[in-house]
Structure 1
């Protein structure tokens, strides 16, 4: 479910959109055509395939790769045709009207002067369910490998998946995004937010209501396995979808679908477009504050402490990350210094537990970037308090708790980097930080003396 870009086509070429075909010849059912495909997704690295139009609905053509379909058993061919009939109806009656109502239309009648879009099924590499290539939205004189039509690609495996509706909905949002951002406003959406909207579509349409084996369940599992992944760094990996999906559900839970829709119709992209939409909707919070609250929510999941510290979605009510544990044992060596690194808009959770005493915690980042450190104090997970650790200009800060282990049984640090708000395109730089924790017990000096005397006595024995 990737959004394929064609970067060599510049925005200045939008002037050529006016030179479109004045006549349209609708595709006929059962006709075969050659299509350009993306070799990086194709199972055999092909660049072109022959496919047949298996179904024509009021909103779309559904093409299936010939080589793949012809090798199917008769029973599987019947299944595919039944699936396409059902998918076509779902697209016409649910996916198309509800997504265009929420986000606006795709380009109509488009580059091909045809009000139907094209859905092409071809064999893809493992892990890919579909993709969108904006190069098809340009004339061949601009992009020689353009199919010159509004289209999306789906994996033939999806024809045997219960989540096929979700996959088509996801890719169709990319088609809408091209029209709303690139064509109408001359800007290219940042990939993380483009994928965030697209991956929320299955929930919007009700496909995630049945949580078991849903797209949402898969994303939740991925997020919990890669909870430190950056929201904005996009490497095209499965883990990237986990964090954008789970964050987007939180955003819509508390601020509404309008934020996703209005930011799509903004001339800004990424975080600035979200902030603009929040302000337009009358919210006082900005993206940074929402991100902070989300970091706390996926750790505590506690509406009683603060209504923003939990999910409203029933399917995500029990979602909680597992923090990294820093344990201070009951020994004479009661100090640890640990080194980590992080990038922008990534979650990090470090829970400190251990013996009773005076707890000293020091945080040290690098002065090149601006860290933010939230801390959560809890008493046996029952009563918690949330605050912000003050940092100086050198990105250093400290906390001192006299009765740790009695008044509070755990301290969780949640450091993050939020200084960069735009220009996310691929891999980001990572920046180091350290956490030092130590506990001084009451009567520790007497304990040390007693232990030394015991060791001396043992040596004399």
Structure 2
């Protein structure tokens, strides 16, 4: 790509794809957008983020305190990126461009919303800060911090909130630490960041970034522990909030942002036949720092749901939510601290209640990348009584 220097400001050298800019018809409108973007960054975004999180590498490998902003056409779904290699000299990394460089999709500039531009520039700039503060962290952590920064700069950007929420809407499994660069991944870290911002404060995220561990996960665990919080429990509360999203059950089980007032993830669904005698048995797998979001609907009459957790599977408790026919949700927990088998009776499926949700989740002390297993079964009370009667009759023979 051949670039040309478009503008130099107090904080930026701005370069642009030369051919793309030559083909651009409305250059004046484009240049006005650039002016507004850079002015907002220099007077609002930069002081806001650096006062909270610290600074990028100054003056950096190029011995220049200015940032470099490169505008180039990217895929429609890409907002921008940074390259870790650019912080090194070309003697160390042949493909380094040697600078604190942000690459931004030039096509975003010609779109109407300046707020999305502000958000995207804040997101990419925060990568430079994170890499300077905690080099060697996990990808999901860097993206979490950058999404959090974007929220701070543009907290009421409804289009992004809706887009991120839509990305997570059909997630039947949520893994905190894996990263695939998908809409689901960005939805996960954005909504988690929004939830933590609502539940706690910005300072706790600052502490996480400043924690000396290179691992983002360990930083979260240790900082929350220092603040007398259990990060694993906080994650579980967030997972519950994505199903119930109801502040009447507790402020930890809902989003406060009005855009998400009626938001609820669609879990993996199992269907019980609409008859009084029915049963279903399922075995599932799960990995550390992940959760399975599951639901059972259908069936008639009273039902018994039973979970069995193998000894080697470190599931401590499983939240369950019973949904009534008038959409009221009741929250409960299976507690496996004293027994690896737990059960609950759901009254009046089909008449009083319509569904039961449950969220198996493993945090600590699961071994990373190891696969664990659990099983559950649901039976109608009529089926259980019938089975018991068969056993009794057999014993009487």
User: TM-score band (shorter)?
Assistant: 0.7 to 0.9
Aligned partner of 1:293 in structure 2 is: 237
Question: What TM-score, normalized by structure 1, do the two folds share?
Answer: 0.75
Q: Is residue 177 of structure 1 aligned with residue 130 of structure 2?
A: yes
Kept in 1, the 8 Å contact 2:172–2:294? The answer is no
Kept in 2, the 8 Å contact 1:328–1:353? The answer is yes
Say if 1:415 and 1:349 are closer, same or farther in 2 by CA, change over 3 A.
same
Aligned partner of 1:437 in structure 2 is: 378
Aligned partner of 1:61 in structure 2 is: 13
The Cα shift of 1:227 comes to: 5.0
Question: What TM-score, normalized by structure 2, do the two folds share?
Answer: 0.87
For residues 217-264 of structure 1, give each alpha carbon's deviation from its aligned partner in whole angstroms, at most 9, with x where no partner exists. 211111113352322111222321111111111112111111211111
| Counterparts of 1:99 and 1:130, CA distance in 2 | 18
Q: Is residue 313 of structure 1 aligned with residue 261 of structure 2?
A: no
Aligned partner of 2:218 in structure 1 is: 272
| Counterparts of 2:207 and 2:63, CA distance in 1 | 27
Aligned partner of 1:198 in structure 2 is: 146
Q: Is residue 129 of structure 1 aligned with residue 79 of structure 2?
A: yes
| Counterparts of 1:421 and 1:190, CA distance in 2 | 18
| Counterparts of 1:418 and 1:189, CA distance in 2 | 18
| Counterparts of 2:191 and 2:364, CA distance in 1 | 22
Q: Is residue 220 of structure 1 aligned with residue 165 of structure 2?
A: yes
Say if 1:115 and 1:390 are closer, same or farther in 2 by CA, change over 3 A.
same
The Cα shift of 1:150 comes to: 0.8
The Cα shift of 1:197 comes to: 1.0
SS at match of 1:360: strand
| Counterparts of 1:334 and 1:89, CA distance in 2 | 65
SS at match of 1:441: helix
| Counterparts of 1:298 and 1:64, CA distance in 2 | 41
Kept in 2, the 8 Å contact 1:57–1:92? The answer is no
Say if 1:258 and 1:440 are closer, same or farther in 2 by CA, change over 3 A.
same
| Counterparts of 1:193 and 1:374, CA distance in 2 | 26
Kept in 1, the 8 Å contact 2:308–2:376? The answer is yes
Matches for 1:99-178 after TM superposition, within 5 Å: 99-161=49-111, 162=113, 163-178=116-131
Kept in 1, the 8 Å contact 2:171–2:265? The answer is no
For residues 181-228 of structure 1, give each alpha carbon's deviation from its aligned partner in whole angstroms, at most 9, with x where no partner exists. 12xxxxx1111111011012222012x4141xx222211111113352
Matches for 1:228-307 after TM superposition, within 5 Å: 228-268=173-213, 269-280=215-226, 282=227, 284-307=228-251
For residues 76-105 of structure 1, give each alpha carbon's deviation from its aligned partner in whole angstroms, at most 9, with x where no partner exists. x22321221111111111111111112111
| Counterparts of 1:285 and 1:443, CA distance in 2 | 42
Matches for 1:412-423 after TM superposition, within 5 Å: 412-419=357-364
Aligned partner of 2:333 in structure 1 is: 387
For residues 38-64 of structure 1, give each alpha carbon's deviation from its aligned partner in whole angstroms, at most 9, with x where no partner exists. xxxxxxxxxxx2211212221111110
The structure whose Rg is larger is 1
| Counterparts of 2:28 and 2:285, CA distance in 1 | 53
Unpaired runs of 5+ residues, structure 1, are: 1-48, 183-187, 449-461
| Counterparts of 1:180 and 1:99, CA distance in 2 | 13
For residues 152-179 of structure 1, give each alpha carbon's deviation from its aligned partner in whole angstroms, at most 9, with x where no partner exists. 1112222223222111110000000111
| Counterparts of 2:189 and 2:329, CA distance in 1 | 30
| Counterparts of 2:374 and 2:225, CA distance in 1 | 33
| Counterparts of 1:400 and 1:125, CA distance in 2 | 50
Say if 1:167 and 1:403 are closer, same or farther in 2 by CA, change over 3 A.
closer
The Cα shift of 1:363 comes to: 2.8
Kept in 1, the 8 Å contact 2:314–2:366? The answer is no
The Cα shift of 1:336 comes to: 1.3
Unpaired runs of 5+ residues, structure 2, are: 390-397
Kept in 1, the 8 Å contact 2:308–2:375? The answer is yes
Kept in 2, the 8 Å contact 1:120–1:152? The answer is yes
